[in-house]
Every structure is written in C-alpha cells, then in structure tokens.
Structure 1
Amino acid sequence: MPRSSERGAVAVEFAILAPLLIMLLLGIMEFGRAYNVQVSLSNAAREGVRVMAISNDQTAAKTAAKSAAVSLNPQLADTNFTFSPTSCTSGAQMSVTIKYTLSTLTGIAGPFPMQGVGVMVCGG
C-alpha cells in the first residue's frame, strides 16, 4: 500500500509525460504522411517524363502524372508542372519537375514545399 505522501505521484508523472508522448505520435504521423507524398511526387514525375519522352505531349504527360498521384489531396494542378526543355527532341534529356505544397495535419509546423523530379532521354 502506497504511503499517503506518494498519493497522486502517478497522475503527476503522467501529466508530465503525456504531452511528450502525444507530440512523438503526431510527429510520426506527419513524417509518414510527408514520406508518402514524396514517394507519390517522385512516381508522378517519373510517369510524366516517361510519357513526355515517348509522345512529346505535355498534356498527356500531365494527365499521366496526375493519374499516378491520385492519393494527393489537394490534387495536382497544371501549374505544379515544369518541363525543361519545353519540347522533346530525340536524344535530348527531358526533365519534369512537380512542385507541391504539403499542408500538415496538426498545423504545428509547415506548410512544406516538396518536389518530385523525373529525367529521361527523349525518344528512348
């Protein structure tokens, strides 16, 4: 049986540790979400540059990239894409950059600017 002088010690210890544990949990959630968005952006950029290198059609490349990143909320817009150079000539290197701003679930930090880049040789 605990002594009366130690009564409430567990509640005090919990009150001290609970915020730290909650912050750790929220940090893990935010990091996991950011990692998922980064993987989605990289995959979308790879799909976009692949279509651009084959067909030399920016509209089709944007559509393919948007289809590869359906998990993003909000979805990708046409303004998120940058093609360098603007058209694909055989043997040249094409780069597609997708810029995205990730808002956080908790609102503690952020928003975070993120980007995915895909590079491929045209006509190859």
Structure 2
Amino acid sequence: MTAQHRERGAAAVEFALVLPVLLLLVMGIIDFGRVFSAQQTLTYAARAGARVMVLQNSQSAAITAAQNAASPLAQIPSSAFAVSPSTCSAGTQVTFTVNYTVTGTGFFGNFPLTGTGVMLCGG
C-alpha cells in the first residue's frame, strides 16, 4: 500500500471528527442570527407601540401598531403585549413590553425574548 493511499484514509477520519463540530458551529451562527433579528424586531415593535400610546392614548391602537411592526416574526397575540400605565397623562412614562419566544433549530432550544419601549407622555 502506498503512502498516498494511506493518507486519503487519514483525511477521511479527520473530516469525520471535525464535521460534527463544524455543523454545530454553523447551526449556532444561524440561531444567533435569527435570535438577534427577532430581538431587533421586538424592540422596534415595542417602540412603535409606545409611540402610538403616547400620541393617541389608546391601548388597542398601540397593540395594533406593535403587531404590525412585529409582522416579520409571526402573528403575535394581543396577550403578548403589556402597557403600563393604561392611560397616558402629561409627564408620565409609558412602558410598552412585547414577549415572544423564538424556536431554535433544535440543537439549542427556544429563546424567550422581550422588547421594551419607554416614552414620555406629553413630551
């Protein structure tokens, strides 16, 4: 058996040892990108909801605006949104919160995320 022929077998064994680690790394990069994008979308949706709450003083309009802003993720139910306080009066801060869970690729599980937007009423 020649030395070159034996080296081909060694390369196959090395590849078999490195492949699982490489796949795990690639899946982690994909999951991180998906979670990061979802977090940015939730933050934008929370800011949009807080802005509408401050301008219109309407929880239903604020939730609708946040649902529209979060549309790239999925249809988020109204129960995932929280507004505090429920009415906007001059000088108070409105905190708008969105809760969402991103499903992973299967290796890393699910990721619960929260987006928060805070704005001043009448400011």
TM over 0.5: yes
Q: Counterpart of 1:111?
A: 110
* Per-residue deviation, 1:99: 0.7
* Per-residue deviation, 1:123: 2.1
List alignment gaps of at least 5 residues for structure 2.
Answer: none
Residues of 2 paired with 1:68 and 1:23: CA distance? 32
Residues of 2 paired with 1:19 and 1:64: CA distance? 43
Q: Counterpart of 1:79?
A: 79
The structure-2 alpha-carbon separation of the partners of 1:2 and 1:82, relative to structure 1 and needing over 3 Å to count, comes to same
Please tell me whether residue 65 in structure 1 is matched to residue 82 in structure 2.
Answer: no
Q: TM-score, normalised by structure 2?
A: 0.93
Residues of 2 paired with 1:100 and 1:4: CA distance? 54
Q: Counterpart of 2:92?
A: 92
Alignment of 1:5-24 (within 5 A): 5-24=6-25
Alignment of 1:19-58 (within 5 A): 19-58=20-59
The structure-2 alpha-carbon separation of the partners of 1:16 and 1:44, relative to structure 1 and needing over 3 Å to count, comes to same
Residues of 2 paired with 1:7 and 1:72: CA distance? 46
Residues of 2 paired with 1:123 and 1:46: CA distance? 16
Residues of 2 paired with 1:110 and 1:5: CA distance? 41
* Per-residue deviation, 1:87: 1.1
* Per-residue deviation, 1:69: 1.2
Three-state SS of the structure 2 residue aligned to 1:115 is strand
Letter in 2 for 1:103: T
Percent of aligned positions that are identical: 48
* Per-residue deviation, 1:7: 4.3
Aligned length: 122
Instruction: Please give the root-mean-square deviation of Cα atoms over the aligned residues, in Å.
Output: 1.4
Question: For each residue in 1:59-92, what CA deviation from the matched residue of structure 2 results, as whole angstroms up to 9, or x when unmatched?
Answer: 110111111111103x211000111111111111
